Structure 1
Amino acid sequence: MMPSVLRLFLITALAMTAFAANSVLARLAMATGEAGAWTFTLIRILSGALVLALIVSPGRAMKAGSWASGGALLLYAAAFSLAYLTLATGTGALILFALVQITMIGWGLAQGERLSAPRWGGLILALLGLVWLLLPGIEAPPLAGALLMSAAGVGWGIYSLRGRGASQPTLLTAGNFARASFLALLVAFPALFLSGEAAPSLEGTAYALASGAITSALGYAIWYAALRHLSASLAAIAQLTVPAIAAFGGMIFLDEPLTVRFLIATALILSGVALASLARRRATS
């Protein structure tokens, strides 16, 4: 049964808040040194896999998903954590969001998809916003962090492309998390040894557990419940709120300032993605 408009709005808002909270939790752990990037990633992936397996049943989770999607998921999660060693919360979320969309549109172009003039305009506008954000200057984000978050966005874009049209998205996600957890165990321990990363504090462990079990696992489950009742354009537009919510969380929990550069880049990127999403909806309706 189609949920009421208010219920659908609340579910969608809760999912977007959960996605933004991942950025806040990662930045809280990295900025304060409560957890290192690799331990945060490992705990996040393992706890997310456990919760999702309990939702769909461990046996079904182990049979679902693919190693390629698990690898893309791990690329996203590891690069995401490493990027937040240096990036501000809102800036990281904005770069991530932009690269996810650019990756998915770029794949469509590579497959021969023809873009309408409004979609080209939206893509160019988003790219201009990203260039503006990364231009050298006092307010520019650290290049290494920006490149790492770009890699995270590409990883999440690949993961999203591989999961498009899934008939049982929560089951698929559970399987991919399970596979990503095995890969994370193989990658994280050598990385921990080479980096000399310290063990996380109780607070850092709590941030990572919350990111994995609550804002990732439960966040995705809630989002898929809402997604069944949202059009493609409404789903894309809903995700426009994530960088703004993340930036607001950074202001509250980390005392991060809002810069003019960030505000201009946000306006350009989100306007571009909204234009491309609405143009696609009109073209397919």
Structure 2
Amino acid sequence: MQQPLRIASLTVLAMLAFAGNSLLCRLALRDTTIDAASFTSIRLVSGAVMLAILMAGRGARPWTAGTWPAAAMLFAYAVTFSFAYRQLTAATGALLLFGAVQITMLGYGLATGERLQGLQWLGLSVAVAGLVGLLLPGIAAPPLMGAAFMLAAGAAWGVYSLLGRGVTDPVAGTAGNFLRAVPFTIALSLATTAQASFDATGILYAVASGAITSGLGYVFWYAALPAFKAASAATVQLSVPALAALGGVLLLAEPLSPRLLIASVAILGGIALVILRRR
């Protein structure tokens, strides 16, 4: 396969996988009996097993990379992500998650001395206004608790991404972090045993989310990432909420409200302006 086609294929697969995480989680928690804690545990363990197998195939030990702080953030993201999707649609959840991730990382940059130019401040203001507008009370507003969980998930993923900057082998680092997240998820399962419930279909969705759309999705993305400049890579990821929204409408029969459409344009457009002007 020619190199440009290979990069394009890996990128498309990665973005579909990332959007698939939202669809699988929402589908499992809406249409099966699995609870959010069990979904989280099965997802993380499945992802750890898949990545450990891939690392073993490379002749490497999965524990040689990754850190405990990053694993804690990975767990925090996964558990709040699952609890959020008990109430949110796939599109709303993906948009809140992406917005929170980018604003967390931009906020860290500003706190550590990064300076934004005029159009970047405009883009950031528009993105924040889009988030606020989406969450304002009203008939089309998402449930407050679900939205709070997803914003927390985005913040945790933003910190996780910041902790992973400069990692020389991101696949190995991701494998190590997933394995280190397993003890956290075992503790979660023990703490929620009384409320645990699941069925075969719910387990299947959780395994697919962990092993395929998480584990393999990260591998696809990290394989394509070296071909992108930083701004291009960040811009490509703007497609994930749009893909999740499309999947929610076509596969889950979820409504797409005018409020969500306007917020999507504001959040994604504002973040795109910051990213593109930065480079």
Matches within 5 A, 1:183-222: 183-193=184-194, 196-198=195-197, 200-222=198-220
Matches within 5 A, 1:4-15: 4-15=3-14
Matching residue of 1:84? 85
Matching residue of 2:108? 107
- Residue identity in the other structure for 2:93: G
Whole-Å separation in 1 of the counterparts to 2:246 and 2:112: 37
How large is the RMSD of aligned CA atoms in angstroms? 1.4
Whether 1:230 and 2:228 are equivalent positions in the alignment is yes
Matching residue of 1:22? 21
Whole-Å separation in 2 of the counterparts to 1:273 and 1:191: 37
Whole-Å separation in 2 of the counterparts to 1:118 and 1:69: 33
Contact kept in structure 1, 2:32 and 2:201, CA below 8 Å: no
Q: Per-residue CA shift, 1:22-47, capped at 9, x if unaligned?
A: 00000001111331100100000001
- Residue identity in the other structure for 1:127: V
Whether 1:270 and 2:268 are equivalent positions in the alignment is yes
Whole-Å separation in 1 of the counterparts to 2:37 and 2:185: 9
After TM superposition, give the deviation of residue 120 of structure 1 in Å: 1.4
Matching residue of 2:141? 140
After TM superposition, give the deviation of residue 7 of structure 1 in Å: 2.5
2:278 to 268, 271, 280: 280
After TM superposition, give the deviation of residue 146 of structure 1 in Å: 0.2
- Residue identity in the other structure for 2:201: E
Whole-Å separation in 1 of the counterparts to 2:2 and 2:187: 42
Aligned residues: 277
Contact kept in structure 2, 1:40 and 1:205, CA below 8 Å: yes
Using the TM superposition, name which of 17-26 and 231-240 deviates more. Answer: 231-240
- Residue identity in the other structure for 1:197: A
Matching residue of 2:154? 153
Whole-Å separation in 2 of the counterparts to 1:168 and 1:201: 37
After TM superposition, give the deviation of residue 18 of structure 1 in Å: 0.2
Instruction: Name the SS for the 1:11 alignment partner.
Output: helix
- Residue identity in the other structure for 1:36: D
Whole-Å separation in 2 of the counterparts to 1:182 and 1:19: 24
Instruction: Name the SS for the 2:34 alignment partner.
Output: coil
Using the TM superposition, name which of 2-11 and 14-23 deviates more. Answer: 2-11
Whether 1:239 and 2:232 are equivalent positions in the alignment is no
Matching residue of 1:121? 122
- Residue identity in the other structure for 1:188: S
Q: Per-residue CA shift, 1:237-279, capped at 9, x if unaligned?
A: 1111101110111112211011100000000001011101101
After TM superposition, give the deviation of residue 188 of structure 1 in Å: 2.6
- Residue identity in the other structure for 2:184: L
Matching residue of 1:38? 37
Query: How does the TM-score come out when normalised to structure 1?
Result: 0.94
Instruction: Name the SS for the 2:179 alignment partner.
Output: helix
Contact kept in structure 2, 1:75 and 1:155, CA below 8 Å: yes
Instruction: Name the SS for the 2:46 alignment partner.
Output: helix
Instruction: Name the SS for the 1:228 alignment partner.
Output: helix
Whole-Å separation in 2 of the counterparts to 1:201 and 1:188: 16
User: What 5-or-longer segments of structure 1 have no aligned partner?
Assistant: none
- Residue identity in the other structure for 2:180: R
Contact kept in structure 2, 1:103 and 1:154, CA below 8 Å: yes
After TM superposition, give the deviation of residue 3 of structure 1 in Å: 5.8
Whole-Å separation in 2 of the counterparts to 1:18 and 1:222: 9
After TM superposition, give the deviation of residue 179 of structure 1 in Å: 0.3
